Copies of this chain bind each other. A is one copy, B any other.
Amino acid sequence: MSTGVNLKELAAELKLSPSTVSRALNDSYEISEATKKKVISMAEKLNYQPNPFARSLRENKSKTIAVVIPERMSSFFSKVVDGIEEITQQFGYHLLVYSTHEDVDREKKIVNLLMNGRADAIIMSVSSQTSDISHLTRLHERGFPLVFFDRICSDIPTTKFITNDYESGFEGTKHLIQQGCRKIAFLMLSKELSITKDRYRGYLDALKQAGLSPEPQLNITCCQDEEQNIEAIKQLLTGPNRPDGILSSVEKLALATYHAVKRTHLRIPEDIKIISFFSNLSIASLLNPSLTTITQPAFTIGEECAKLLMKKLTKPRQPDLPNQLITIPSKITIRSSTIVL
Contacts and interface: CB of A to CB of B under 8 A. Distances in A.
Contacts of A259: 282, 285-286
Interface in A105-135: 113, 115-118, 120
Contact of A53 (B57, B79, B145): B57
A226 to B, nearest CB: 7
Contacts of A85: 98-99
A210 interface: no
A73 interface: yes
Interface stretch (A20-28, A89-97, A168-176): A89-97
A180 interface: no
30 contacts: A1-B117, A1-B120, A1-B142, A1-B145, A2-B115, A2-B116, A2-B117, A3-B143, A52-B116, A53-B54, A53-B56, A54-B57, A72-B78, A72-B79, A72-B82, A73-B78, A73-B79, A73-B82, A81-B97, A82-B99, A85-B98, A94-B96, A94-B113, A95-B98, A96-B97, A226-B282, A255-B283, A258-B286, A259-B286, A262-B286
Interface of A: 1-4, 49-54, 56-57, 60-62, 64, 72-73, 75, 78-79, 81-82, 85, 94-99, 113, 115-118, 120, 142-145, 226, 255, 258-259, 262, 280, 282-283, 285-288
